[in-house]
Amino acid sequence: FTMLGGIPNSEIAQLHQYWQAFPQLHEALFVAKSAAYSELAIAKQDVNATITLHPQVIEFISAYNQAFAGFDDYLINTLIQGWQAVNRNQQEPELSTELFTRLSSVALIDKYQAYQFLNNQWQVISADLEMMQTEGFAATKQVDPNIVVKKVKGKDTEVQDGWKGHIMPFDLVQQTYLSDDLAALAKQENRLVEIASTLEEILESLSEEDKEQDTVKESKDGFANAEVAKAAKAFLKEQKDNKVKFTEESPEPEVSYKAKIIRASKLIDEDKALKKAVKDAQIALHLKTKTTIEGLTDDQVNELLHLKWITPLSLELAAMPSAVITQLTSQVQALADKYAVTYSQVANEIKTTEQELADMMGELTGNEFDMQGLAELTSLLKGE
């Protein structure tokens, strides 16, 4: 911390590339305290809003978006509409040139990072283009056996495990064209998770005595399903014969236990049926995805190529300016935090009075900042 509080201008100056791009933002954030120190011109909790909402920052983001206007269309025309004409060996340098030209007018953006995004995505595009150019456009609607290695009679053997898209990934096709089926499946899977946690809660709520019953596994970490079913059947019959209803809230431990086992049994049955339904739904969705890919129209193929090739790059590039602003915000906040505690506060807490030291200080001399600090320290030590 510093003697009088305040942030050294030398440290603020280390963020010079930002102040060069946003000169007025510097004034909105800092106010001079002396020739060498500044302090925040705003409350510390307002740093984020002051930066994000500053006109020069808003202008920076809008200029960036402007620089990339039409970039998507350029990629669609070049790579998707003109897929047959793409020269795979020369195309990436052309894309890079286009990228750098657009970035040339924009400050603060890490151009190498932008190129890295392009280069990573080009690996995907180039591999697909190679298949399309050698096998024809129909390759996009092709589905291949998914071959995996499994142990058969102790030997590693190649076997088929379902299907996979030759070019189109199953999950992309599902998210794009079979989202209702995906959502229905997710709902069932979520219910399975709910059942598991409810069963765990019921198990936890049993007394130590109840956990010794056959309905609980010896390891005490779950129910013994067959025993639960058997016990629940007996308890349900008992309820019916005696025209009573067991409740878990009952003050009688035995009654409460019976009610819990009846509920656990229902959940175990639901879980079993649901697991089978989920497995069937997964298989049905898998086969539906296969037929969807095989029946894609050319327009749908183009839409999927856009989503697979271009969208990931567009999203990464679109996020770059806000990453710059987030970086600046965290650096300004770090400076504010670092110099938040001043010597005055620390010394006030200690409340030490050292008259002799104060007297000696009267004899010291120094530059403006040191003397200001010494005067402050002297008055502290004298307890003024």
Give the confidence band of 344 by pLDDT, cuts at 50, 70, 90: low
Residue 128 has pLDDT above 80, yes or no: yes
DSSP letter string over 154-199?
TEEEEEEEEEEESSS-HHHHHHHH-HHHHHHHHHHHHHHHHHHHHH
**15 and 5 within one domain:** yes
Instruction: Indicate whether 170 belongs to any domain.
Output: yes
> How many domains, in total, are found in the chain?
4
Average pLDDT over every residue of 29-37? 91
Residue 3 has pLDDT above 70, yes or no: no
Least confident piece of the model among 43-47, 289-293, 338-342, 347-351: 347-351
Average pLDDT over every residue of 55-65? 96
Better pLDDT: 140 or 340:
140
Question: Which of 71, 141, 64 lies closest to 109 in space, CA to CA?
Answer: 64
Whole-prediction pTM: 0.78
Q: What is the pLDDT of residue 363?
A: 62
Give the confidence band of 301 by pLDDT, cuts at 50, 70, 90: very high
Q: What is the pLDDT of residue 368?
A: 63
Residues forming a β-bridge with 158? 149
Structure tokens at 216: 């609980």
| Dihedral sign, Cα of residue 213, residue 218, residue 219, residue 225 | negative
Q: Report the largest interatomic distance among the alpha carbons of the chain, rounded to a whole angstrom.
A: 102
Residue 353 has pLDDT above 50, yes or no: no
| Dihedral sign, Cα of residue 83, residue 75, residue 123, residue 287 | negative
Residue 24 has pLDDT above 50, yes or no: yes
Residue 356 has pLDDT above 70, yes or no: no
Instruction: Specify whether the CB–CB gap between 377 and 353 falls below 8 A.
Output: no
**136 and 16 within one domain:** yes
**80 and 126 within one domain:** yes
Residue 345, CB-side half-sphere exposure with 13 Å CA sphere = 8
Question: Which of 216, 226, 221, 220 lies closest to 260 in space, CA to CA?
Answer: 216
CA distance from start to end of the chain? 22
**269 and 375 within one domain:** no
Average pLDDT over every residue of 11-37? 94
Average pLDDT over every residue of 225-250? 95
Instruction: Indicate whether 347 belongs to any domain.
Output: no
Structure tokens at 59: 């202008």
**150 and 136 within one domain:** no
Instruction: Indicate whether 85 belongs to any domain.
Output: yes
| Dihedral sign, Cα of residue 240, residue 245, residue 247, residue 251 | negative
**197 and 105 within one domain:** no
**6 and 125 within one domain:** yes
**133 and 10 within one domain:** yes
Instruction: Specify whether the CB–CB gap between 114 and 103 falls below 8 A.
Output: yes
Can you give the residue range of the structural domain that contains 149? 144-177
Question: Which of 161, 156, 165 lies closest to 138 in space, CA to CA?
Answer: 165
Q: What is the pLDDT of residue 13?
A: 95
201 exposed, middle or buried (CB, 10 Å; 0-12, 13-18, 19+)? exposed
DSSP letter string over 255-271?
HHHHHHHHHHHHHHHHH
Residue 70 has pLDDT above 90, yes or no: yes
**120 and 79 within one domain:** yes
Q: What is the pLDDT of residue 305?
A: 98
pLDDT tens readout for residues 79-116: 999 999 999 999 999 999 999 999 999 999 999 999 99
